Structure 1
Amino acid sequence: MVEDPVAKWEEFIRSRYWDELLELADSYPLRRSLSIKFPDIDRYDPEFADELLEKPGPLLEAAETALLEIDLPIDVVLEKAHFRIVGLPRRHKTSELRSDHIGRLIALEGLVRTVTEVRPKVVSAAFECQRCGHLFYKEQTTSKFQEPYDCPNEACDRRGPFKLLLDRSRFVDAQNVRVQESPEELRGGEQPQTLDVQLEDDLSGIIYPGDRVVINGVLRSYQRTTQTGKSTYFDLFLEGNSVEMMEQEFEEIDIKPEDERLIRELSTDPHIYENIRKSIAPSIYGYEEVKEALALQLFSGVSKGLPDGTRIRGDIHILLVGDPGIAKSQLLRYISKLSPRGIYTSGKSSTSAGLTATAVKDELGDGRWSIEAGALVLADKGIACIDEMDKMRSEDRSALHEAMEQQTISVAKAGVMATLKSRCALLAAANPKFGRFDKYEGIAQQINLSPALMSRFDLIFVLTDEPSDARDSQIARHIGQTTYAGEISSRGGYSKEELEAVMDVIRPAIEPEVLRKYIAYARKNVFPVLSDGARERLESYYVNLRKQGQDGNKPVPVTARQLEALFRLSESSARLRLSDEITGGDAERVIRIVEACLRQVGVDPETGLLDADVLAVGMSKSTRDKTRLMIDLIRELTTEQQGPAPTEAVLDRAETKLGMERHKAEEIIKRLRTNGEIFEPRAGFLKLP
């Protein structure tokens, strides 16, 4: 045991943290915390450091006393300053905490699930004796409010009554936080455990649901109470001393001067697009165009607030549609790990409440209703990856409409009305209805998604699995090399040179940590502006496409949403090479990507023309025209027959008079019957309502 801990702390601060203390004194009281790295204490005196871990209570109190007593060259008294310990040697998960840890200084790692409002908490209550008028203070050291037993005035010595004086009492800001174990660290079948954390003063109000944090503090316990009385079981909570953010938004990632030099150097490489493309999921062969689009999604366009108060989103939404077993889920997993605040969820197990937000009874506070954030809110300023989107219930998918375009989520439940921000990009994957994609059938008929939702995606890629000798042998070789590399790395016993040679096939061109910093730097500092040449090229491309729709017999090829997508993608393309100007080269690059997507999904399979209605309405213009002719035909036959029209007669006349294929006519009749536009009064006959 240290004989004089206050003197020990004073000596430590003077020798190791004098400059940091002067900075604190200079910015006090706006800054009220002095952060001390535990390894520095350990190097200064290992025994003292061990004692701090074992018996933190008295030593942390002595540290705050030392901050008060230390002589400063600046005329300031650090009365409300705090001593924060960071960088503890071992991080614990909630499930690892045991009775041995009670009363010790520990580091808790996890995901913030719920936070309460920041509210004042009394730490020193002022009381006035109503008999003698004596004023005295009672320190509040536990979670339950402690009232005085008798008057400390010896002349009085009565047991009250006492009046609480709020204006004389001392309060501190306080907040309760619930931290859950990170889901990726759980074993199969294990439920994530939670722990409540109490934060005070300048620690309160700095973390939010969805943050991944390490909270350092003293583990405390309190006795459970049951209906029959006090229980022998105790519950745990953490008295927070400091908070370390594990994962920040792109804009919050700390970039040092040497990182900036490396980033600038990378951006001048003429092969920067290719290098970034090769750094996205290198274990997956091919998909150059998709990976290029995913790179643009990571860099994002620029969100713009207009003078009239409207906001244009900068985030790029991408949908991958394709046959099973072509690595869609792997791409989604990789992007969710690469992006800060990346959230991965699968369709069948996701509800609208889980995706957006829901109202729940607040267990941490006083039992009021509060909003609990879902995946899209937790992924704010990140990327939300939704796999198996076609398997979601349609009412759950409808919750995505507002989140994708307005980037907000409105909740009105249980008397709670709130609008939450969900400024995230959406990357979704879906399988065709019948297993494999049929290129001769419209995309709207093959995917179980509403046209309104599909039109909100900036890019839709169709990934088909078509056998080809050359491509299949390349994929087989790549998977073989990847598998071999994985086996070698897990086995061990190989020299560094051998490992380097084998790992080359799956090594990204830019390391993930460097790429994250590169993206963060671009999103934080680069806000490109359209050059005249780029704007004219994008506008002329859009206008030329729209010209096709001026002919009344031809469909409208694209809508204004595609033009917005072109501008967003071109901003992202300029950001990727850290350019403040969008050039003609950026315009050509995004036109190539958008054209490839439109040719895959926005074409009427019958006419081969681009048709915006294929996505926006779910029915091509040619099918809509044939549907109208079919209704006219049924009306005509009904008038002739003076009753319901025979189905066979309708099909025969559609074949001879309209030149329509019989199976197409049957499909149209089936759709009209499903939509309630025609009905069967009896078998084999059709009638308009």
Structure 2
Amino acid sequence: MTEGKWDEKFVVFLKKYYWDDILQLANSYPDQRSLEVDFYDLDVFDREIANELLFNPDEVMPSANNALQQIDLPVEKKLIDAKVRFIKIPNKIPNRDLRSKHLLQFVAIEGMIRKATEVRPKVLNAAFQCMRCEHVTMVPQNEIKFVEPVECENETCGRKGPFKILVNQSVFVDAQKLQIQESPENLKGGTQPQSLDVDIEDDLAGLVKPGDRVIINGVLRSHQRTTREGKSPFYDLVLHANSIEYTDLEFDELEITPEEEEEILALSRDPEIYQKVIGSIAPSIYGYEEVKEALSLQLFSGVAKHLPDGSRVRGDIHMLFMGDPGVAKSQLLRYMVKLSPRGVFASGKSASSSGLTAAAVRDDLGDGRWTLEAGALVMADMGIAAVDEMDKMSTEDKSALHEAMEQQTISVAKAGILATLKSRCALLGAANPKYGRFDRYEGIAQQINMPPALISRFDMIFVLLDTPNEDMDSKIAKHILKSHYAGELSEQRKNLPSSTITQEQVDGHMEVIKPVIDPDFLRKYVAYSRRNIFPVMEDDARDHLVKFYMDLRRMGDGKDAPVPVTARQLEALVRLAEASARLRLSNVANMDDAKRTTRIVYSCLRQVGVDPDTGAFDVDVIASGTSKSQRDRIKIVKEIIKSVGEKHPGGKAPLEEVYAEAQNQQIDRQHAEDLIARMRRSGDLIKPDKEHVKVV
């Protein structure tokens, strides 16, 4: 087939399927210079051209562009530089399966943008002026290396130079290099994600940023490697992009059709809406109603506020699960990451501070400049970042989270780069107690291996204890076995051709672990809510929150009383109340929302912020790791050791006397031993021998 024939076919095709789009393009030309064509339409129109496009794109694509540029328009305009961009290509190949047979084919590569260079002009057609006779020679630049003319074209001159390049007469195009790597969720265990370099030109340049999930369609080409010894027999793969499609959309970008909007509004009027959303979060895990309720509020998040003085108050709700092993913390985390449109999952030891925030790396795409690589919290911008095993992270790495959680930015000052990246994500953390399991008789704070400054930034801390309880245990056991049974049925039906199991049986048993609301629909519901609902709190709801906060603070009146809560908890209450109103798509946060909020927060505080000795609420348990009663006791024991030591030579106090004196002051021996051991660890006491202690 000759090229001319294809030009005509494309003209017919474009006029038939894309006439309206072409007119729209003509209106906005030259700001918009490309026409997106769905591959499926081309396939329906002429299968032969569609096949040729996949296997000989270099012949077909120029025809498509020519056809678009030749079409007669009803307006006085010529689409001289317009390009046809093909999307929805069926030839989708995973990065790691690219082989030499795919060279020069039209392929679709799906993945995540890892790096992007700046957009820079690239010369397409260079104008050279001969310095002797001033004749101008045009040299197209199609190679990797810059090509200069061999000799002057002017017949009377014909010298071999020198030449000077004329920038104003040369033709330039915007160009950018990207690196796309496989999406982390599609990886098989233990494999490193593979990346591919992409060349992007013209109006596609500058569209994507690191962290975007995209499909890039283009022609796979190869560039020969050059080594110091000369040319190498190995070639590198480069994708020359023809079009870009976004796959992972933020909450703001999810498409919601009018029918879906009606469905969403109908669901929001359902009186059972809270139960339904709770039932849609990790249905394979039994129980945890309160935890799931808090998680559903985290999905909807409060309203981020920009104040007139330029400061920003975050709306995202941070949560921490502390729990015994085997209470399904990681399961909950993984489920939330799946539900959130931009969920990122990281795990303790394997996450470094630069992996969570941002790393400065030497750029291997361009000329070795330093560039920033976005970390997990930046990639989760506007979504949820789940960090498992937070207690196993090293101290420096935990400190990287402080700014990300409260200010929701990440400031980088490395290698000459001063930058502030946004990380407007909700953090969902999970951690194990210091000694593997919770000790009933020790305050929870001593068992949380995390700095107090970090812990106080969490709006809610849930302690998930694994306490044997016959009734509950049998329900959990039955639920787990039911879900396994459903899984077994479904797998056998799928993999055994001789299986007699029917689809009805599978569906019937799957009912137990089926989410009430379909996850895709729930995602749209959340997106709709976050986009359109901005609740304002009613007066009585505000008063209720203030009263709750004041009641908690009042426990801190008096000289010896502990401080129960800080102002951060009040902000958490407000965010939760807003999220609760958003959940039912209401622009007013009323008394019910306030009560729901205080109920959840109270149950959190009851688990965490209680001084194990006195039973009083004490935020210091969370904030500084030692409760008020403990600090007072330490003081008393110290005084006792001092006074006993004065009676003995060298200030050495015999331990038995100290214990006896402590008992007179209502501190039993067990506690006194604990406190002395604690003071020795912190360096306040020394033990010269087994029987004596001495204040330093």
- State TM-score, norm by structure 1: 0.97
CA contact (8 A) 1:317 1:458 kept: yes
The percentage of counterpart residues that share the same residue type is 56
Match of 2:185 in 1: 184
C-alpha distance in structure 2 between counterparts of 1:255 and 1:144, whole Å = 47
Q: Deviations over 1:452-505 (max 9, x none)?
A: 111111011111111222211211211121111111222225434333212211
Structure 1 residues 324 and 246: alpha-carbon distance in aligned structure 2, compared to 1, 3 A threshold:
same
Match of 1:508 in 2: 515
Match of 2:246 in 1: 245
Structure 1 residues 158 and 565: alpha-carbon distance in aligned structure 2, compared to 1, 3 A threshold:
same
C-alpha distance in structure 2 between counterparts of 1:60 and 1:667, whole Å = 79
Q: Tell me if 1:470 matches 2:471.
A: yes
CA contact (8 A) 2:297 2:576 kept: yes
C-alpha distance in structure 1 between counterparts of 2:435 and 2:512, whole Å = 35
C-alpha distance in structure 1 between counterparts of 2:79 and 2:676, whole Å = 82
User: For residue 84 of structure 2, what is the amino acid of its counterpart?
Assistant: F
Match of 2:146 in 1: 145
C-alpha distance in structure 2 between counterparts of 1:232 and 1:144, whole Å = 18
Match of 1:357 in 2: 358
Q: Tell me if 1:536 matches 2:537.
A: no
Q: Tell me if 1:393 matches 2:394.
A: yes
CA contact (8 A) 2:641 2:658 kept: no
Shift of 1:685: 4.1
Say which of 668, 675, 684 aligns to 1:668: 675
Q: Tell me if 1:174 matches 2:175.
A: yes
Say which of 550, 553, 572 aligns to 1:546: 553
CA contact (8 A) 2:346 2:388 kept: yes
The secondary structure found in structure 1 opposite 2:555 is: helix
Match of 1:651 in 2: 658
C-alpha distance in structure 2 between counterparts of 1:680 and 1:130, whole Å = 91
Shift of 1:169: 2.1
CA contact (8 A) 2:684 2:695 kept: yes
Structure 1 residues 25 and 494: alpha-carbon distance in aligned structure 2, compared to 1, 3 A threshold:
farther
Structure 1 residues 219 and 554: alpha-carbon distance in aligned structure 2, compared to 1, 3 A threshold:
same
CA contact (8 A) 1:651 1:662 kept: no
User: For residue 583 of structure 1, what is the amino acid of its counterpart?
Assistant: N
RMSD in angstroms over aligned alpha carbons? 1.6
CA contact (8 A) 2:655 2:693 kept: no
Report the more deviating stretch, 306-315 or 626-635: 626-635
Match of 2:13 in 1: 12
C-alpha distance in structure 1 between counterparts of 2:12 and 2:160, whole Å = 46
Match of 1:458 in 2: 459
Shift of 1:317: 0.6
Report the more deviating stretch, 459-468 or 592-601: 459-468
Shift of 1:508: 0.7
C-alpha distance in structure 1 between counterparts of 2:641 and 2:426, whole Å = 47
Report the more deviating stretch, 122-131 or 9-18: 122-131
CA contact (8 A) 2:404 2:423 kept: yes
C-alpha distance in structure 2 between counterparts of 1:539 and 1:423, whole Å = 27
CA contact (8 A) 2:319 2:429 kept: yes
CA contact (8 A) 2:3 2:59 kept: no
Match of 1:596 in 2: 603
C-alpha distance in structure 2 between counterparts of 1:553 and 1:533, whole Å = 33
Structure 1 residues 609 and 26: alpha-carbon distance in aligned structure 2, compared to 1, 3 A threshold:
same
Q: Deviations over 1:184-210 (max 9, x none)?
A: 323333222110011112212222222
The secondary structure found in structure 2 opposite 1:36 is: strand
C-alpha distance in structure 2 between counterparts of 1:271 and 1:632, whole Å = 59
User: For residue 555 of structure 2, what is the amino acid of its counterpart?
Assistant: Q
User: For residue 277 of structure 2, what is the amino acid of its counterpart?
Assistant: I
Structure 1 residues 531 and 422: alpha-carbon distance in aligned structure 2, compared to 1, 3 A threshold:
same
CA contact (8 A) 2:352 2:397 kept: yes
**Where does the alignment leave 5 or more consecutive residues of structure 1 unmatched?**
none
Matches for 1:26-45 after TM superposition, within 5 Å: 26-45=27-46
Shift of 1:402: 1.1
Shift of 1:634: 3.3
Match of 1:372 in 2: 373
CA contact (8 A) 2:637 2:662 kept: no
Match of 1:610 in 2: 617
Q: Deviations over 1:80-135 (max 9, x none)?
A: 32211000113111111111111110000112111112222222222211111112
The secondary structure found in structure 2 opposite 1:396 is: helix
C-alpha distance in structure 1 between counterparts of 2:659 and 2:18, whole Å = 93
Q: Tell me if 1:414 matches 2:402.
A: no
C-alpha distance in structure 1 between counterparts of 2:14 and 2:405, whole Å = 51
Shift of 1:438: 2.5
Shift of 1:539: 1.0
CA contact (8 A) 1:651 1:666 kept: no
CA contact (8 A) 1:317 1:425 kept: yes
Match of 1:122 in 2: 123
Match of 1:625 in 2: 632
Report the more deviating stretch, 55-64 or 590-599: 55-64
Match of 1:94 in 2: 95
- State TM-score, norm by structure 2: 0.96
Match of 2:533 in 1: 526
Q: Tell me if 1:564 matches 2:565.
A: no
CA contact (8 A) 1:180 1:192 kept: yes
Structure 1 residues 650 and 98: alpha-carbon distance in aligned structure 2, compared to 1, 3 A threshold:
farther
Q: Tell me if 1:312 matches 2:313.
A: yes
Shift of 1:230: 1.3
C-alpha distance in structure 2 between counterparts of 1:164 and 1:682, whole Å = 87
C-alpha distance in structure 1 between counterparts of 2:78 and 2:657, whole Å = 94
The secondary structure found in structure 2 opposite 1:399 is: helix
Shift of 1:3: 4.5
Structure 1 residues 644 and 358: alpha-carbon distance in aligned structure 2, compared to 1, 3 A threshold:
farther
CA contact (8 A) 1:112 1:208 kept: yes
C-alpha distance in structure 1 between counterparts of 2:191 and 2:505, whole Å = 38
Shift of 1:559: 0.6
C-alpha distance in structure 1 between counterparts of 2:643 and 2:470, whole Å = 55
Shift of 1:586: 0.5
CA contact (8 A) 1:361 1:368 kept: yes
Shift of 1:564: 0.2
**Where does the alignment leave 5 or more consecutive residues of structure 2 unmatched?**
494-499
C-alpha distance in structure 2 between counterparts of 1:23 and 1:475, whole Å = 59
Structure 1 residues 512 and 193: alpha-carbon distance in aligned structure 2, compared to 1, 3 A threshold:
same
CA contact (8 A) 1:443 1:614 kept: yes
C-alpha distance in structure 1 between counterparts of 2:642 and 2:25, whole Å = 85
Shift of 1:653: 5.0
Report the more deviating stretch, 606-615 or 398-407: 398-407
C-alpha distance in structure 2 between counterparts of 1:8 and 1:264, whole Å = 47
The secondary structure found in structure 2 opposite 1:8 is: helix
Structure 1 residues 362 and 672: alpha-carbon distance in aligned structure 2, compared to 1, 3 A threshold:
same
The secondary structure found in structure 1 opposite 2:349 is: coil
The secondary structure found in structure 2 opposite 1:85 is: strand
Report the more deviating stretch, 673-682 or 555-564: 673-682
CA contact (8 A) 2:640 2:662 kept: no
Structure 1 residues 52 and 556: alpha-carbon distance in aligned structure 2, compared to 1, 3 A threshold:
same
CA contact (8 A) 1:124 1:140 kept: yes
The secondary structure found in structure 1 opposite 2:632 is: helix
CA contact (8 A) 1:644 1:685 kept: no
Shift of 1:213: 1.2
The secondary structure found in structure 2 opposite 1:111 is: strand
